[in-house]
Amino acid sequence: MISPGATRVRLGALDDLPPREGRAVTVDGERIAVFRCDGGVRAVSNACPHAGGPLADGVVAGDTVTCPLHMRVVDLRTGDVSDCAGRVRVHDVVVEDGVIYLVRPEPGSEAHPA
């Protein structure tokens, strides 16, 4: 459910994103990787926290993507990265009438790390 005040940004047609592939998009200056996984469409920041690898170019398996630079595995549901203390930012996505939308939270509603 989208919270009141949240906005949606159209990313493209679901049919244009083949299963188990990623696409890089830019929203409000942020590079985002969008994937069509076994569990649905997922979106995360398109920079691996290890050394900035382009996650959209990685290999998708289940709900994970393997970074093409050093092969660390990113969980696209949680943002956890194997063998790395950093995490990838996970974005909310909805698919409606065959269109993928990124859900942007209401300004000021995002949690910030302590």
Q: Is 19 helix (H, G, I), strand (E, B) or coil?
A: coil
97 Cβ neighbours under 8 A, 6+ residues apart: none
CB nearer to ligand FES: pick between 22 and 53: 53
CB of 91 to ligand FES, least distance (A): 18
Q: Tokens in use for 34?
A: 């969008």
As measured in angstroms, the least distance from the Cβ of 51 to ligand FES is 4
**Could you list the residues that contact ligand FES (CB under 6 A)?**
48, 50-53, 67, 69-70, 72
Q: Tokens for 25?
A: 């998009």
At 80 the three-state DSSP class reads strand
For the CB of residue 5, give the shortest distance to ligand FES in the complex, in Å. 34
